[in-house]
Amino acid sequence: MKFKSLTLSALTLLAGVAATSPAALAHTADKGTYKIDPVHSSVLFTVTHLGVARFTGRFDAISGELTADGIGAGNAVKVEIDATSVNSGFADRDKHLKSPDFFSAAQFPTITFNSTEVKLDDSGKGTLTGDLTLRGVTKPVTFDLQHIGAGQDPWGGYRSGYTATTTIKRSDWGVDFLLGGISDEVDLVINIESIKQ
Amino acid sequence: MDTHPLLQGVLIAAQSLGLPVLVALAVYFLTRPLAAGIRLTLALLLGFSAGWAALFGSQASFPPRQTLDWLPLLAAVLALLGLLPRSVRQIAYGLLLAVGLWLFSPPLLMRADWLVLLGEWAVALLVGLALLLTVTLRADTLRLPVALACAFGALGFVTSLGGSIVIGSLLNSGFALAGVLWLAQSRLPTTAVTAASAAGVVVWVWLAFSARHLAEIHPEETLLAAAALLTLWLPLPARLRHLTALLLPALPALAAVGLAVWRYFAAQSYYY
């Protein structure tokens, strides 16, 4: 009897969550301003090491905001990444990555991206173009953009998520040390979950 | 263009050690008509600048954007000050040391308040002035280049192993040029060797400050490397003078290296 009651409670809870889950296939987010949820967002970078293997690291601290305008021209993205939060899963390597050999994070603690153009079609795919500032150098970069979904969250808020991917050459930003061991090409993946304000 | 991984280490060694020495020697021999002091100053300045350009030039910008961009400009001013009369030169070196430390401070200001910045700047300046005074007052041409080489070499190794290969390699360039100074010292007037050594101390303090604030190098290793210069205060025995001149500064330098190696293995990271 107790087991049955527990099962019913669990099913009721699951049904409640399902009812308030984001509409995963909604490819147009409600128009408005969104704040990036740092807990559910991530910035990943992947390089080739010694020409033989791929290695992925991440930044743990990301913030920023989005302006959603459907497929209109008013879409905008502003992202700030704390360069000192670089995390390769290895303390000594993180220290090296923060040094002037790579990010020079003590002098340039913030990596920023400010969009100049966001194109999204009805299927939720498009491009995100903007200025990436890394180590004090600003260069234009274009990401492939995909709107993952949007909808109500279980706590009464409204969320929208995107994934942006691109490949950059780190030397374009002056990060050109140890190009032999660590590839010039860096794959970037930015997964953003944002909360409507 | 990507460099083959196996050649990367050889290239960095050539850029930081070989190139500065080759450029310095070439400049020294090509400027024979000039006075010895001027030749030495030009040789060391251009040797250091060549190493800096090879290691960091592709990342650098003018006007300076990164603190390390200031290095060749400051080194050029330092070289000019080296031509001043001795009485004025020491004060000028001290002032430039202070200005340089201030220019190297922005990374510290990013994460600390002005009071901490002023404190760190003042401590670095005091240590730098103490080392400058040591080199100036203990103007022993045999010992100066060796002590300088030990200070540069120890901190270069420590920084390359534990923080930044770029800053470590710039320190290694200083080590190589101290070697050139050691080779040339017997043919040079004492004033020229002392002026060059004092200029070397100023560059060492700037790089040590950068290693601390840009590459998180521990102060213990830095102070041990600085102690190589402070051994100039210790008297040398009449017998085995040359050997002792080499051994005395080498001891704290080796201690700094040993401490860094111990930290490396204690962390069990084996990153490189």
Task: Write the pLDDT tens digit of every residue in B168-184.
Answer: 999 999 999 999 999 98
Q: Which among B3, B165, B210 has CB closest to A179?
A: B3
pLDDT band at B269 (very low <50, low <70, confident <90, very high): low
- Per-residue model confidence (pLDDT) at position A180: 77
Is the confidence at residue A2, as pLDDT, over 60? Answer: no
With beta carbons less than 8 A apart as the criterion, state whether A64 and A191 touch.
no
Indicate the SS3 state at residue B112: coil
* Mutate which: A86, A88, A95, vs B, most B CBs within 10 A: A95
In this predicted structure, the answer to whether residue B127 has a pLDDT above a threshold of 90 is yes
pLDDT at B131 over 90: yes
Residue A156 contacts B where some CB pair is shorter than 8 Å:
no
Q: Which two tokens stand for residue A193?
A: 């979950």
Tokens (6 digits) for A182: 């660590």
Average pLDDT estimate for B29-36: 91
Angle CA B32–B33–B37, to nearest 5: 70
8 A C-beta contact, residue A149 and residue A23: yes
CA distance A178 to B272: 12
Candidates A92, A173, A179, partner chain B, best to mutate (most B CBs within 10 A): A92
CA distance B57 to B16: 12
* CB-based contact, A95 to chain B, within 8 Å: yes
- For A129, list phi and psi in degrees, rounded to 5: -110, 140
For residues B110 and A185, give the distance between their C-alpha atoms in angstroms, rounded to a whole number.
29
- The identity of residue A177, as a single letter, is F
Residue B42 region by backbone torsions, left for phi larger than 0, else alpha for psi between -120 and 50, else beta? alpha
The chain A residue lying nearest B8, using CA atoms, is: A180
Measured between beta carbons, the chain B residues lying within 8 angstroms of A183 are 2
User: How many angstroms away from the CA of B57 is the closest CA of chain A?
Assistant: 10
Residue B107 to residue A50, Cβ atoms within 8 A: no
Q: Kindly state whether A55 is in contact with chain B, defined as any CB-CB distance less than 8 angstroms.
A: no
The answer to whether the CB atoms of A180 and B8 lie below 8 A apart is yes
The one-letter amino acid code at B38 reads I
Of the candidate ranges A100-104, B1-5, B12-16, the one whose mean pLDDT is the lowest: B1-5
**CA distance, residue B269 to nearest chain A CA (Å):** 7
Q: Which chain B residue shows the shortest CA-CA distance from A102?
A: B164
Q: What is the pLDDT of residue B19?
A: 96
Burial B81-95 (b: 16+ CB within 10 A, else e): bbeeeeeebbebbbe
Decide if B271 and A92 are in contact by the 8 Å CB cutoff: yes
Cβ–Cβ of A100/B214 closer than 8 Å?
yes
Q: What is the mean pLDDT of chain B?
A: 91
Of B106, B165, B269, the CB nearest to A101: B165
| Binary contact (A109, B108; C-beta < 8 A) | no
Pairing label, strands A32-36, A110-120: unpaired
- Closest in A99, A109, A180 to B2, CB measured: A180
Encoding tokens for residue A172? 């374009």
Chain B residue nearest residue A136, CA to CA:
B65
Residue A7 has pLDDT above 60, yes or no: no
A18-57 pLDDT, tens digit per residue, is 444 444 445 677 889 999 999 999 999 999 998 899 999 9
B-chain residues near A136 (CB < 8 A): 65-66
Q: Which residue in B214, B217, B264 has the most chain A C-beta atoms within 10 A of its own C-beta, making it the best mutation to test that interface?
A: B214
Q: Which of A178, A184, A186 to mutate to test the interface with B (most CBs of B within 10 A)?
A: A178
Count of CB contacts below 8 A, A vs B?
88
Q: Which of B8, B163, B213 sits opposite A178 (nearest CB)?
A: B8
pLDDT tens figures, A145-197: 999 999 999 999 999 999 999 999 999 999 988 887 899 999 999 999 999 99
**Contact A89/B at CB under 8 A:** no
Tokens of B178: 């101290």
Residue B266 pLDDT more than 80?
A: yes
Q: Which pLDDT tens digit goes with each residue over A51-81?
A: 899 999 999 999 999 998 876 678 899 999 9
pLDDT score recorded for residue A26: 55
The pLDDT tens digits of the residues spanning B56-93 come to 988 888 889 899 999 999 999 999 998 888 889 999 99
Nearest CA in chain B to A103: B214
Task: Calculate what percentage of chain A has a pLDDT beyond 70.
Answer: 85
